[in-house]
Amino acid sequence: MKHTSIVRTVIGIPLLMALPLQAAAPQVNVFKTRTCGCCSKWVEHLRANGFQVNVQDVPNTAEYRMKYGVPDKLQSCHTAVVKGYVIEGHVPAREVQRLLNERPNAKGLAVPGMPAGSPGMEGSRSDAYSVILFDEAGRASVYQKYLGK
C-alpha cells in the first residue's frame, strides 16, 4: 500500500505520520451496442464493485473481439479491456479483481454466451457457468466455476 507522509507537531516536536493513499480504481473500457440492456447492467455491476468504467457504444462488437483476440468459442455480447487484459462477456467483478491482483500470463477472461444469473443477467433463474482464462494462443482453462440455483 502506498503511503503519504504528514508532519504534525505534538508539544513542539514534529511527528511524522504515514497515512495510506487510496489507490485509483481500475479503468475498464467497455465496447457494447447501445441497445443491449444486459451489457448496461454488467457495467453497473462493475461500477458498484469499485471500477471506473468508460463505455463506448458501437454498432457491432465483433470487430473488438477480433481486435483483442477473443477466441470464437468464448464470445459473448460485449468486450472490455482493463490493464492489458481483455474481458469478454458477463465476468463477475470479483474475478476481474482477482485477475488484476494475480496478474497471470494470459490474454484475459471470458464468460461465453449469456448465462442466466451471471452479472447483468440476473433473473428468476441462475444457471451454472464458468469463467474461462485464455491466452494468446487461444488455450483456455476454467478460472472459476459458479453453481446455478
Say if pTM beats, i.e. exceeds, 0.85.
no
**Helix extents (H) in the chain:** 37-48, 62-67, 93-102
In a domain, 9, yes or no: no
Lookup: cell for 91 = 465476468
The phi and psi torsions of 70 (rounded to 5 degrees) equal -80, 120
**Contact (Cβ atoms closer than 8 angstroms) between residue 145 and residue 106:** no
Q: CATH number, domain at 86?
A: 3.40.30.10
Per-residue pLDDT in tens (0 to 9) along the chain, 149 residues = 444 444 444 454 444 444 444 456 789 999 999 998 899 999 999 999 999 999 999 999 999 999 999 999 999 999 999 999 999 999 999 999 999 999 999 999 999 999 999 999 999 999 999 999 999 998 999 999 999 87
Question: What's the gap between Cα 115 and its chain centre?
Answer: 17
* 86 within some domain: yes
Give Rg (Cα) of the chain: 19
Task: Decide if 4 is inside a domain.
Answer: no
Is the residue at 15 inside a domain? no
Query: Which residues constitute the domain of residue 48?
Result: 24-146
Strand (E) or helix (H) holding 115:
none
Q: Which amino acid is at 52?
A: Q
Tally of structural domains, the chain: 1
Rounded CA-CA distance 56/77 in Å is 13
Whether residue 44 lies inside any domain: the answer is yes
Please say whether the beta carbons of 71 and 135 come within 8 A. Answer: no
Pairing of strands 140-146, 129-134: antiparallel
CA separation for the pair 6, 15 (Å, rounded): 8
Per-residue burial over 39-50, b = 16 or more CB atoms within 10 Å of its CB, e = otherwise? bbebbebbeeee
Backbone CA torsion sign across 95, 98, 103, 104: negative
